[in-house]
Amino acid sequence: MTAPAGDRGEYLYAVYEGSQPRHFKVQGIGERGDSVHTIHHGRLAAVVSASPIVEYDNSRRNMMAHTLVLEEVMEEFDILPVRFGTVAPSAEAVENLLLARRYDELTQLLGQMRNRVELGLKAFWYEGVAFKEIAEEDEKVRKLRDALEGRSLDETYYERIRLGEAVEKAMRDKRAHDEEMILSRIRPFVHKTRTNKIISDRMVLNAAFLVDAAKEADVDAVVQALDEECADRLMFKYVGPVPPYNFVDITVNWQVEEAL
C-alpha cells in the first residue's frame, strides 16, 4: 500500500452473473484476513473484500492476492476482471454506481465472455538465430557485414550505421513474417486476437486470444505443433486459461461517478 488508510472501502476483483450471495475460500488483498464475498444487484455479482481506501502498489504479493481470488471465482463462473487496485468507497457504491448504473453494459460484456477463456502466447527467437538467418538470406546485409572485415572502427563508421539500419529493417520484416506464420495457424480456432507491445529484440509475438472453451484443446494442439516444428529457432511461452484481461477493461472513477 502506498497511501495511509482511510475509511473502510471495498476492494473490487471481478463481476460475474449470479444472484446468490457467496463467500470464497481465498483471503482478500492486504494480508488482513478479510473474507472475499459478493455484492449483488439483479443478476450481477461483484466480488469484493473489505479494504481501507488506499492505493495498492503492484508488488508481487499484492498481484498474487488479486490473482488468487480471480482463479477461485473462475473455477465456477465466467468473469469480468476489474483492474488491479480498484477500491470502492463503500458497498453501496459498488451496488449503485457500478452494478446498477452499468448493468446493461456489464450484462452485455458477460454475454461476450460466456464459455470463453483467454490464452496467452509469447514467442522468442533463440539467441543469435534472427541475425544468422538475416545474414544468410539478405545479400545487402551480408555484403555490408563482409565489407567491415579487417577495417578500423573509424574507417567504417558510416558503413556500420548503414549495416545497423539494414539489419533493423530486415529484423522488422522477419518478425512480421514469423508473427503472421504463427497467427495464421491459430486464427481459425479463436474468437478474438489481441497483439500487444513487443518488449525485447528477441520477442517475435506477444498475443492474447479469446477462445471458446470447446476449442481450447485445438489451440493447445496448434501451439504444440509449432513448438515441435520451430524447436531449433523459436521458444514459446504459453499460458492459460486466465481472466480475460486483454478483452475486458472495467475501470471506475468513483469521484466522477458520485458527482453524476
Return the CATH number at 189.
3.30.70
The residue with cell 509449432 is 226
Full residue range of the structural domain in which residue 199 is found: 117-242
User: Residue range 128-152: average pLDDT?
Assistant: 71
My answer on whether 97 and 188 are in the same domain is no
My answer on whether 122 and 174 are in the same domain is yes
Question: Is residue 254 one of the residues assigned to a domain?
Answer: no
Judged against a pLDDT cut of 90, whether residue 144 lies above it is answered with: no
Q: How confident is the model at residue 87 (pLDDT cuts 50, 70, 90)?
A: very high
Question: Is residue 3 one of the residues assigned to a domain?
Answer: no
Domain boundary among 114, 132, 147: 114
My answer on whether 134 and 234 are in the same domain is yes
pTM of the model: 0.77
My answer on whether 28 and 130 are in the same domain is no
Q: How many other CB atoms are there within 10 angstroms of residue 6's CB atom?
A: 12
Between the CA of residue 12 and those of 16, 38, 49, 185, what are the distances in Å?
A: 12, 10, 7, 37
Whole-number pLDDT of residue 260: 42
Whole-number pLDDT of residue 160: 67
Judged against a pLDDT cut of 60, whether residue 24 lies above it is answered with: yes
Question: Is residue 26 one of the residues assigned to a domain?
Answer: yes
> C-alpha dihedral over 213, 219, 224, 225, to 10 degrees?
150
Phi then psi for 175, rounded to 5 degrees? Answer: -60, -45
pLDDT in tens, 156-183: 666 667 766 777 788 888 899 999 999 9
Question: Is residue 255 one of the residues assigned to a domain?
Answer: no
Domain boundary among 62, 94, 114: 114
Number of domains in the chain: 2
Task: Write the single-letter amino acid at 165.
Answer: E
pLDDT in tens, 58-72: 899 999 999 999 999
Q: Nearest 5 degrees, angle CA 251-CA 237-CA 80?
A: 25
